[in-house]
Amino acid sequence: MSTPRVRFPPSPTGLLHIGNVRTALFNYLFAKKYGGAFVLRIEDTDRERSKKEYEEDIFEALRWLGLDADEGPEQGGLYGPYRQSERTAIYQKYLTQLLANGKAFYCFHTEAELEKEGERLFAAKQPPIHPCEYRDLGIAEAEKMKEAKPDHIIRFKTPLGRTVVFRDLIRGDVSFASDLIGDFSIAKSMDEPLYHFAVVADDYEMQISHVIRGEDHIANTPKHILLAEALGFPAPAYAHLPLILGPDRSKLSKRHTATSLREYRAAGYLPEALINFLVLLGWNPGGDREIFSKEELIREFSLEKVQKSGAVFDVAKLNWMNGEYIRKKSVAELAGLCRPYLDTAGLLESTDIARPYGLAMSVDVEKVVALDSRG
């Protein structure tokens, strides 16, 4: 295998989800296993929902977990910028190419018209695809219509009668009929790219060799392959990870457990325990062993051992695993880990733990650390 380049592309529209952390982890382990690059890309084209505090949450979460990016907004790199909001000129270049080659077109349907179409398809129990009547409109005529209808968008002209087949590194061959894809939107305007288009342009520009993501993206893959083909790009290799499920085997959500990494960190879970727990949600190295260091995971990891079926998030197992890691800590390490929680609870006065709940004794944290360091 040539040196791989993988990417973790979160959107800063909320706190980092535990499922996204699992995706970042699998990408990181794959890259490190083969001496490749782990790239962090911030997909912030959703201008209304993207927030700086959510971006900072992503940076801090990866630092805390020890999943350090080789390239990204903080680290820099040869293929930046690493925020989509700073890559507009790149997107304009490729949108212009698609429009000029007749691979994309301007769609002048109003939102109300599209909603009505969606309702009609739903009532008829038909797939929600949009074969657009404007797909064969000439450039000159489209330019005239743009003046009268400024709220147009740009769609990809999906080839008809095609079967798109790709080799998933986890699931084997997967195929889709292009007639069931429809003419999907790729940009609100020349300055506002949408997900399907931006991700294909970025993966090519950043020389991403492997796209490792959740199985909920499988239906997006034929769109990305067709876009890459239309732009003359080689398609990366694809691997789609199994979903993380709740105990009832539905997709993990807040009704099952906490969903953001920040919540688990605040609850006292250790980064080593979370990494160890999450990697076993969908990956099995074989045998009964369950406790692995990060270095051991890098050596052992392979996509061939990733399962296809969903993995159940078992909080009891996470608690057990966290306990195993806590028991390995020295008194000094435990004292340091406890201090932020005691401080937040108002139980620390200088270096002393105050007498909570009427206990008639206090413990000097610094003395505990000193005693442990003397052995």
Cβ–Cβ < 8 Å for 372, 330: yes
C-alpha atoms less than 13 angstroms from C-alpha of 31 in its C-beta half-sphere = 25
**CA–CA gap between residue 130 and residue 126 (Å, rounded):** 11
**CA–CA gap between residue 272 and residue 281 (Å, rounded):** 15
**CA–CA gap between residue 131 and residue 21 (Å, rounded):** 36
The amino acid present at 232, given as its one-letter code, is G
**CA–CA gap between residue 216 and residue 129 (Å, rounded):** 18
Give the CA distances from residue 103 to residues 141, 192, 226, 266, in Å, rounded to whole numbers and listed in that order. Answer: 16, 18, 10, 49
- DSSP structural state of residue 165: E
Cβ–Cβ < 8 Å for 159, 226: yes
Q: Is 254 a catalytic residue?
A: yes
Cβ–Cβ < 8 Å for 95, 154: yes
Token couple for 345: 């609870």
Q: Which is it for strands 104-107 and 153-156: parallel, antiparallel or unpaired? A: antiparallel
* Closest to 310 measured CA to CA, from 240, 212, 239: 240
Cβ–Cβ < 8 Å for 98, 231: yes
Residue from 116, 254, 308, 328 carrying the catalytic annotation:
254
* Closest to 256 measured CA to CA, from 10, 7, 19: 19
Measure the N-to-C terminal CA separation of the chain; round to a whole number of Å.
Answer: 48
Cβ–Cβ < 8 Å for 243, 216: yes
Q: How far is CA 261 from the centre of its chain?
A: 13
Residue 192 pairs in a beta bridge with 189
Active site residue ranges: 254
